[in-house]
Amino acid sequence: MSTALSPALPISSLVRARGPLWTPAELRHLVTTIGTVHRDGLLAQVRFASPQRWWARLELTEEVEVWLLSWLPGQHTAPHDHGGAAGAFSVVLGSVSETYRYPGADVHTRTHRTGDAVGFGAGRAHQVWNTDSGKAATVHAYSPPLVPTREYNSLWDIPAVIPPLPPRRSLDELRKEPVEQ
């Protein structure tokens, strides 16, 4: 279930143009800043839904997209990559577990708690879930924006090489994309 937040949080100044693509470190800083500075506003607007998770796009530019996601206990994603985009997420409520893998590497699992953030490169595939007994909320950012994710049966199924990014699109083209993930 997806929605657009209204009124939007004042984060547009944080996503000013800075180059064609944001690095994982820049994305991590972005989600950390949004999650810290705007935590109360995020928590006031987050919604929890079942059986499908809830999410809302916070911002979209030609370089980056930012999302707010909620997680009830037991909710999770399928194993997936981000289509060659770099990404980051920050936990603003509760905790989420992440199992991740880069091509040719071992599978790792980490738990991220409120205030934690992680940035990742284009080749990372992962699965995120709420393994705790309480609700969780996270802020995510990706660059470039709206690159389709690819799902896998298992993290062991990710290819040895993640295919290249699709051609960049204009902001007008990006805004025409449906908000549904």
- What residue numbers bound the domain in which 147 lies? 19-161
- Residue 99 inside a domain? The answer is yes
pLDDT tens across the length of the chain (181 residues) = 555 554 467 787 787 777 778 999 999 999 999 999 999 999 999 999 999 999 999 998 889 999 999 999 999 999 999 988 999 999 999 999 999 999 889 999 999 999 999 999 988 999 999 999 999 999 999 999 888 888 999 999 988 877 766 666 667 776 776 654 4
Tens digit of pLDDT for each residue in 44-97?
999 999 999 999 999 988 899 999 999 999 999 999 999 889 999 999 999 999
Diameter of the chain measured on Cα atoms: 44
- Residue 169 inside a domain? The answer is no
**Which pTM value belongs to this model?**
0.87
- Residue 87 inside a domain? The answer is yes
- Residue 5 inside a domain? The answer is no
CA torsion 117-24-21-64 (nearest 10°) is -10
- Tally of domains within the chain: 1
Are the C-beta atoms of 52 and 102 separated by less than 8 Å?
no
